[in-house]
């Protein structure tokens, strides 16, 4: 009898769990809404959310909590030269997090902000930018060449890790003759 009662109790508890997903203490106005939080490599990235059901599009700031109507959404992030898109479902009164995976930042600290930085993946040029900028790159290992006037400094096997900024200091000696 105890085994049957316990099994019946567990069965009823599991089937009614979905009813408790909605916060019963939430104000009625919030019960038809949920939250979206998007984390991107840089705060200057552009994030757009599109309600798949209505087609309504809204721009939001990265790492800002945004209340939206319950439903299915397409979340798009524009990061310099790269785009990322993910479909998500927003539940009532719950927070849906979207973390843009596989991208990190490279910041080169050079004496002159006008020095040019070239980033190579193997022998292929992956990015070229001035040292004054922070560049978003896909996760991986790169060879970084900093051009200083007619000379250059090279760093090999520079790791770019997801959702972090790799800072690289450039030091060079001028030959005095």
Q: Where are the domains of the chain?
A: 25-99, 103-169
- What pLDDT does residue 25 have? 66
- Distance between CA 131 and CA 104 in Å, rounded? 16
The CATH number corresponding to 103-169 among 1.10.4160.10, 3.40.50.2000, 2.60.40.10, 1.10.10.10 equals 2.60.40.10
- What pLDDT does residue 18 have? 42
- What pLDDT does residue 113 have? 87
Q: Are 137 and 121 in contact (CB under 8 A)?
A: no
- Distance between CA 136 and CA 168 in Å, rounded? 14
What topology is assigned to 25-99 in CATH? Immunoglobulin-like (2.60.40)
Each of the 177 residues of the chain gets a pLDDT tens digit; together they read: 555 555 545 454 544 444 445 566 666 666 789 999 999 988 889 999 999 999 999 999 999 999 999 999 999 999 888 899 999 999 998 999 999 888 999 999 988 888 999 999 999 999 999 999 999 999 999 999 999 888 889 999 999 998 889 999 987 665 555
- What pLDDT does residue 80 have? 87
- Distance between CA 87 and CA 73 in Å, rounded? 6
pTM: 0.66
Q: Do domains 25-99 and 103-169 have the same CATH topology?
A: yes
């Amino acid at each position: 009898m105890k085994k049957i009662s316990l099994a019946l109790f567990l069965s009823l508890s599991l089937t009614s769990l979905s009813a408790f997903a909605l916060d019963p203490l939430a104000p009625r106005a919030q019960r038809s809404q949920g939250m979206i939080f998007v984390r991107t490599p840089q705060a200057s990235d552009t994030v757009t959310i599109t309600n798949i059901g209505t087609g309504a599009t809204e721009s939001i700031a990265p790492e800002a909590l945004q209340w939206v109507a319950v439903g299915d959404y397409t979340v798009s992030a524009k990061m310099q030269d790269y785009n990322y898109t993910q479909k998500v479902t927003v539940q009532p009164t719950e927070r849906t997090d979207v973390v843009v995976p596989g991208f990190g930042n490279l910041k080169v600290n050079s004496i002159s902000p006008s020095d040019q930085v070239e980033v190579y993946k193997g022998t292929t040029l992956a990015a070229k930018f001035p040292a004054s900028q922070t560049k978003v790159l896909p996760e991986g290992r790169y060879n970084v060449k900093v051009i200083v006037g007619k000379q250059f400094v090279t760093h090999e096997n520079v790791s770019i890790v997801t959702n972090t900024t790799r800072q690289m200091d450039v030091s060079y000696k001028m030959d005095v003759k």
